[in-house]
Structure 1
Amino acid sequence: MALRRVVVTGLGALTPIGNNIEEYWNGLINGVSGAAPITYFDASKFKTQFACEVKNFKAEDFIDRKEARKMDRYTQYAMVTATEAMQDANFDLEKINLDRAGVIWGSGIGGLQTFQDEVTSFNNGDGTPKFNPFFIPKMIADIAGGLISMKYGLRGPNFTTVSACASSTNAIIDAFNYIRLGMADVMVTGGSEAAVTMAGIGGFNALHALSTRNDDPKTASRPMDKDREGFVLGEGAGALVLEEYEHAKARGAKIYCEIGGGGMSADAHHITAPHPEGLGAKNVMINCLKDAGLQPTDVDVLNLHGTSTPLGDIAETKAIKEVFGEHAYTMNLNSTKSMTGHLLGATGAIEAISCILAIQRGIWPPTINHFTDDENIDSKLNFTFNQAQKRDIKVAMSNTFGFGGHNACILMKKVEK
């Protein structure tokens, strides 16, 4: 069977550097850091006392107060970004087949704050089981996708992908596949995460995964820099509306770009560390290019997973050089995590959105906070350090790698008429 073409017709973002698409984009191209001291709880006794929180967000500005109380913060973020994306896509819901419109969402953890609050409350009580009746619905990682479908009456495929930091890239790939295989016409996809909690910070501190640069949070996320020492935890959400190309054209939709392909792989190596030679990263990029029917030389830019960890950045760079060869030196690379921090299960969505906007607007966001070259990372590669660069972008790729060795890569391209 002939595969159908899939395009992006709606976008929504809620990030540590901007609470909608335009604010997010402006933060990216201006090199804004979203890192600051934690405000959600007293972090003074934690090894890491800062994070990339969403700023100036009040759920009741977007969601009925009574309904918002039934949602964990990760679900609130999902609802806000899905609403922005659906409004951007500008559907007349009475004119599309809602049985062929669905939701595939990604979240690595789900309702961590809810779980923490309920267990803490029980532990501080007299042992009598007194739990909020919404404890389970607020906590489970699939509820965001369910609530999005309820809001819009989308009765097509509906599930959540959980693959740690690759979760929302996997969600986008699955949504892409459902449409191109003819099983849906429209899919709302993306991901959300809200793990800036005592449990989240404490847990990642115990893994020695987070930066502890408490004296200078804004420069703590330093991908590819010699002095990087861990990632900065972020939160937020990104939403995309994917649509079959002819379906979008027939209704006169605005089209951002085309999804060209997706790749997946496993490191099969370690629960948290990457394969030292970047084998899983290499395979996922090769798989993505093969799925898109493109050559390495067709790719203009690549959004790195680039978390600012000592091992991860080196392994990913090795993989890029193996996949792209000499062409690697002509590409623009970047890590937007230098600005947003690491949004875990939501990271793939907001980074795919950054690529889509870059294709549209001809500007590639920077990797900020670069001060010192690392002798273990090829300094001849163009990591777009510290300042955005103008570039005509026809093809962009984005990497996401998760604990457990889960790798996902998505390719986006300009629409050919």
Structure 2
Amino acid sequence: MQESIAITALSSLSPLGNNSKEVWDNYLQPHHFIQSKSFGTASEFAATLSIENKHLIEQLRKSDSKYKSLDDTVLMAIWTSRQAVLQANWKDKADFGINMGSSRGATTLFENHFQEFLETGKAQTLASPTTTLGNISSWVAHDLQSEGPELSHSITCSTGLHAVLNGVAWLRAGMADAFLVGGSEAPLTPFTIAQMKAMKIYAFHTPSDFPCRALDFTKTRNSMVLGEGAASVGLELGKRSNALAYITGIGYATEVLQHGVSVSTEAECFKKSMKMALKNSSVQSVDAIVMHAPGTMKGDSSEYKAIQHVFGESLPLLTTNKWKTGHTFATSGLLSMELGLLMMQHNQFIPVPFGEKQHQKKDIKTVLINSVGFGGNAVSILMELDI
């Protein structure tokens, strides 16, 4: 049996807040953080950072002349990574690896630079270096003055949990003794919203108590809403005195697609990823699952069918946070990890307010996290409070 991975830090910046106490307090409240926002000439639903947290990012931007031209995806990743390094007690450590991912990357800057190009026929000097995918990890490494490997990747909505997979692989291979993994997403731009609407998966902009109906299996139309945020996670090999929890199982799978954004009716990729993550554990040991559940009809129902297939009558408590935070693409799986950690630490299940009633009958000590992206790239992470 492979050695477990200690989670020694998890820092996030999202519509829920910027520290674990604030995030937990907001999970205890039944309201969501989705609001109406203008995108060009139209208004759409979106979940944004608070004014106070946007101010934190602006302060960071102004703190160094080199940071003035960086996209919010980079600045949010820097901010959460600084906090994670402090949590993990790596302040005097430099030989840790970094893997930061993003689904859309520097979409705000890219759209702005491209618009300028269309109008003038010219591109700014920093247009390319500030919009490349590796831009996030390299700036985080620069800011932290780390000396380990730095990686970047994009695997759509499962990018954050794929970063976790990469960190686990490096640690178990003995090629690093600590890894900082994360995801950052600032997708609240007119073109990105338009892309989601073109696929007919975005929530209709009509009055609603809960615009995103993630985990509502009775909905008759798609209700995905985008959100912004970043998260950074510190990983170390083996038992650690400062561990928040442990990763005891990982799973991943890709399914054959009919088209670029499809997922099978029973999410074959999730069946495989969950079974792989549970290879050394029983289904009865899982107390809760934080589902991907993006708020689309097929996305929610196919994942649920996959869970029913794997767990049978031993169905754990089921939840998701996208009704509250929106879908933060690359960051979403890491925010799900954060919710799982908090539920274990407080031994309290956080339900979906409009979902089917569920009752916590035992302590929450083991949580499974699911994430999947366009292209059927599923990841499942099994976390345990202690080993």
TM-score by shorter chain over 0.5? yes
CA distance in 1, matches of 2:215, 2:342: 24
What residue is the counterpart of 1:182 in the other structure?
174
Kept in 2, the 8 Å contact 1:363–1:390? The answer is: no
Q: 2:128 aligns with which of 122, 130, 136?
A: 136
Structure 2 residues not aligned, in runs of 5+: none
CA distance in 2, matches of 1:215, 1:138: 38
CA distance in 1, matches of 2:372, 2:183: 15
CA distance in 1, matches of 2:362, 2:324: 20
Q: Which residue type is aligned with residue 339 of structure 1?
A: K
SS of alignment partner, residue 128 of structure 2: helix
Q: 1:45 aligns with which of 42, 45, 48?
A: 42
Query: By how many angstroms is 1:357 displaced?
Result: 1.7
Q: Which residue type is aligned with residue 114 of structure 1?
A: L
Kept in 2, the 8 Å contact 1:31–1:365? The answer is: no
Q: Residue 104 in 1 paired to residue 99 in 2?
A: yes
What residue is the counterpart of 2:265 in the other structure?
276
Q: Which residue type is aligned with residue 332 of structure 2?
A: T
- Which deviations, in whole Å up to 9, do the C-alpha atoms of 1:359-388 show, x marking residues without a partner? 112112221344xxxxxxxx6x84x7xxxx
Kept in 1, the 8 Å contact 2:47–2:226? The answer is: yes
Query: By how many angstroms is 1:25 displaced?
Result: 2.0
Matches within 5 A, 1:147-226: 147-216=139-208, 219-225=210-216, 226=218
CA distance in 2, matches of 1:396, 1:113: 35
SS of alignment partner, residue 404 of structure 1: coil
Q: Which residue type is aligned with residue 231 of structure 1?
A: M
CA distance in 1, matches of 2:310, 2:361: 24
Q: Residue 304 in 1 paired to residue 288 in 2?
A: no
What residue is the counterpart of 1:376 in the other structure?
none
What residue is the counterpart of 1:394 in the other structure?
365
Percent identical among aligned pairs is: 26
Query: By how many angstroms is 1:92 displaced?
Result: 4.1
Q: Specify whether residues 5 and 282 from structure 1 end up closer, same or farther in structure 2 by C-alpha distance, changes over 3 A only.
A: closer
- Which deviations, in whole Å up to 9, do the C-alpha atoms of 1:230-253 show, x marking residues without a partner? 20111101111111235x44xxxx
Instruction: Decide which moves more: 165-174 or 79-88.
Output: 79-88
Query: By how many angstroms is 1:147 displaced?
Result: 1.5
CA root-mean-square deviation: 1.9
What residue is the counterpart of 1:81 in the other structure?
80
Q: Specify whether residues 212 and 68 from structure 1 end up closer, same or farther in structure 2 by C-alpha distance, changes over 3 A only.
A: farther
Kept in 2, the 8 Å contact 1:167–1:346? The answer is: yes
Kept in 2, the 8 Å contact 1:364–1:391? The answer is: no
Q: Which residue type is aligned with residue 301 of structure 2?
A: I
Q: Across the two proteins, how many residue pairs are aligned to each other?
A: 380
CA distance in 2, matches of 1:224, 1:6: 30
What residue is the counterpart of 2:248 in the other structure?
260
What residue is the counterpart of 1:71 in the other structure?
70
TM-score when normalising by structure 2: 0.93
Query: By how many angstroms is 1:44 displaced?
Result: 4.1
What residue is the counterpart of 2:302 in the other structure?
315
CA distance in 1, matches of 2:361, 2:76: 31
TM-score when normalising by structure 1: 0.86
SS of alignment partner, residue 197 of structure 2: helix
Structure 1 residues not aligned, in runs of 5+: 371-378
Q: Specify whether residues 261 and 157 from structure 1 end up closer, same or farther in structure 2 by C-alpha distance, changes over 3 A only.
A: farther
